[in-house]
Amino acid sequence: MSNAEIDRRGIMLVVSSPSGAGKTTLTRNLLEKEEDVVLSISVTTRPRRPSEIDGVHYQFIDQRKFDRMRDAGDLLEWATVHGNCYGTPKEPVDAALAAGKDVLFDIDWQGTQQLKSSALAPDVVTVFVLPPSAAELKARLERRAEDPPDVIIRRLRNAAEEIPHWTEYDYVLVNRDLEKSFLRLRSILQSERLKRVQPEDVQAFVDGLLADLQSVT
């Protein structure tokens, strides 16, 4: 029996960063390489960007539907970011964790605080991704060519408000090199998984091991 065969609780892996720090590429790579990880797809009232697909990147909903979901308790956490509402639907997260999957969240520091102060906190692991420099952050947002210049300026101003929240996270990654940052993110997930094996499963394994030791001596 290997460690992988011992059951463990699912992890809620939160990755936050200012937009443009490389978080989306890092999380996309993690989803490709780690088959037991699923992405939590948020609902948002923000208009869809041309490259985005409804139901894949977000569920794009109107304010009325958002308010209804929030008031019905259907959101695990929610926040207003850059003037739009974002939230995590509860049901898919519950279903994924029940199916033994880890769930990846791309949410901001406000949502992270809510998860960290909820009953789910023991299984919440948080990572903050920092850009290597202000110039690189601006260049990445411009290269992405998804937002008009005034929105880019707003995102950079917001970055200055988001970055100080790194202290509230379990891990911080300065994303100088995408490959290295990815390896670090993957190591975080793997070590946190190892921390969460169920003691009773390990005990059952150890009982078998001890019995076998007796029979070979």
Cβ neighbours for 180, distance < 8 A, ≥ 6 positions apart = none
Residue 163, C-beta contacts closer than 8 angstroms, at least 6 positions apart: 18, 130
Tokens of 159: 């970055």
Least CB distance to ligand 5GP at residue 169 (A): 13
Could you tell me which of 96, 86, 101, 111 has the C-alpha nearest to residue 16? 111
C-beta of 8 vs 78, nearer to ligand 5GP: 78
Min dist. Cβ of residue 46 to ligand 5GP (A) = 5
| Cross-strand pairs, 171 | 127
| Nearest to ligand 5GP of 46, 196 (CB atom) | 46
Supply the minimum distance, in Å, between the C-beta of residue 58 and ligand 5GP: 7
**Would you say 50 or 199 has its CB closer to ligand 5GP?**
50
Of 79 and 103, CB closest to ligand 5GP: 79
Contacts with 98 (C-beta within 8 Å, 6 or more apart), sequence order: none
113: left (phi over 0), alpha (psi -120 to 50) or beta: alpha
User: In sequence order, what are the residues at sequence separation of 6 or more whose Cβ sits closer than 8 angstroms to the Cβ of residue 112?
Assistant: 14, 16, 124, 126, 168, 169
Nearest residue (beta carbon) to ligand 5GP: 111
CB of 195 to ligand 5GP, least distance (A): 25
Q: How far is the CB of 38 from ligand 5GP (least distance, A)?
A: 15
Q: Which is nearer to ligand 5GP, 82 or 186 (CB)?
A: 82
CA–CA separation, 118 and 112 (whole Å): 10
CB of 55 or CB of 199, closer to ligand 5GP: 55
The residues of the shown chain that bind ligand 5GP, judged by CB under 6 A, are: 16, 19, 42, 46, 77, 79, 81-82, 86-88, 106-108, 110-111
Smallest separation (angstroms) from ligand 5GP to the CB of 210? 47
- For residue 129, give every residue at least 6 positions away whose Cβ sits within 8 Å of its Cβ, in sequence order, or none: 15, 16, 17, 21, 22, 23, 26, 172, 173, 175, 181
